[in-house]
């Protein structure tokens, strides 16, 4: 996976170096496959978040959804390039050259390719990126032995690479970093019907860094990932999402000494996970692990408004829906 994405990165940089498409940064592995666990190995999806920065002559501005959710829109604005060294590359200023001259001598701006109105469009970005992945594939060394199959997706680029009985499923998400933090706005959807110009806030990179931190602190024989894998595996088919169990385990890893996750602690830690789930159900509350958490390791960087926010309740639906609460308790 690392070799494949490294090869893609070389071609991305070469093809897009003088374009007005987003500048693609090094991909960051996120999710269970890169955190070191997965409920079922046969269903592993390798998710990578590709940070994007604006091309020359453009800027990105994140606008919070006025509805109050942690959703954003990415406003794309043109900036004056008249005095920049870019003029040596014969770049015309999108603001101060005529439309006729721009049309005849220069590629369209990002506003004219991947935006809807003034906002970066997730669907257009995903479609463009899938075309890029398909076009570059024949030039990669992997193409000699592996077969690429693009999969349908509107908000990401999903594909499989297969060789005989071997098969790997990959999902490429796109994001814009909030300042210099580990929080992004990303293309990953939050429920059906997410508008194409909506970029939900993503904490996947911060969560990945938390697991890396725990791995550095834990003894060599720590089984904390096995606990998480085991408990999510036995929950498959029930109403408790994998992310619910992952959140509970992250809270416990943040409050229990890492030395207490060895094999001899197996039963006690499983009882802790089970007890935390039960208590959360009874209290109808499970706090988000990243948002509003004042006890994160120092190397995880959050925007001030995320760090100081009231933690969202992942069990909010149990507060208002008696049927959902009854079903959850029954499944428990």
pLDDT digit string, tens, across residues 161-198: 999 988 999 999 999 999 999 999 999 887 777 899 99
pLDDT digit string, tens, across residues 36-56: 998 776 678 999 999 999 999
pLDDT number for residue 42: 64
Domains of the chain in sequence order: 1-203 (3.30.460.90), 218-331 (no CATH)
Residue 125: burial class (beta carbons within 10 Å; 0-12, 13-18, 19+):
buried
- The pTM of the whole model exceeds 0.95: no
d(CA 211, CA 225): 9
d(CA 162, CA 53): 31
Q: How many CA atoms lie within 13 Å of 115's alpha carbon, on the beta-carbon side?
A: 22
pLDDT number for residue 39: 79
Q: Between helices 224-235 and 266-283, what is the axis angle to 10°?
A: 50
Are 64 and 72 in contact by the 8 Å Cβ rule? The answer is: yes
d(CA 161, CA 166): 8
Any alpha helices (H) in the chain, and if so which ranges? 2-16, 32-35, 99-105, 122-136, 204-217, 224-235, 242-255, 266-283, 304-307, 316-320, 322-331
Percent of the chain residues topping a pLDDT of 90: 75
């Amino acid at each position: 996976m690392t070799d494949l994405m490294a090869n893609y990165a070389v071609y991305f940089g070469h093809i897009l170096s003088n374009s007005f498409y987003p500048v693609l940064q090094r991909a960051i592995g996120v999710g269970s496959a890169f955190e070191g666990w997965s409920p079922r190995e046969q269903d592993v999806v390798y998710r990578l978040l590709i940070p994007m920065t604006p091309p020359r002559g453009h800027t990105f501005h994140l606008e919070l959804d006025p509805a109050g959710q942690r959703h954003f829109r990415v406003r794309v604005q043109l900036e004056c390039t008249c005095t920049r060294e870019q003029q040596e590359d014969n770049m015309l200023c999108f603001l101060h050259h005529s439309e006729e001259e721009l049309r005849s001598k220069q590629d369209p701006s990002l506003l004219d390719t991947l935006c809807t109105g003034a906002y970066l469009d997730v669907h257009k970005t995903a479609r463009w990126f899938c075309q890029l992945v398909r076009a570059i594939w024949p030039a990669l060394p992997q193409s000699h032995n592996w077969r690429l199959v693009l999969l349908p997706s509107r908000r990401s680029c999903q594909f499989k690479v297969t060789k005989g009985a071997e098969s790997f499923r990959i999902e490429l998400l796109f994001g814009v970093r909030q300042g210099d933090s580990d929080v992004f706005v990303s293309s990953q959807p939050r429920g059906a019907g997410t508008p194409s110009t909506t970029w939900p806030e993503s904490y996947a990179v911060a969560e990945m860094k938390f697991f890396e931190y725990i791995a550095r602190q834990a003894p060599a024989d720590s089984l904390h990932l096995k606990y998480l894998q085991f408990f999510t595996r036995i929950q498959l088919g029930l109403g408790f999402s994998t992310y619910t169990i992952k959140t509970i385990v992250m809270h416990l890893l943040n409050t229990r000494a890492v030395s207490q996750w060895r094999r001899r602690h197996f039963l006690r830690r499983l009882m802790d996970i089970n007890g935390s789930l039960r208590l959360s159900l009874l209290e109808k509350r499970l706090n988000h692990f990243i948002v509003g958490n004042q006890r994160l390791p120092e190397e995880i960087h959050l925007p001030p408004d995320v760090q100081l926010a009231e933690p969202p309740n992942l069990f909010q639906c149990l507060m208002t829906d008696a049927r959902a609460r009854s079903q959850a308790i029954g499944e428990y």
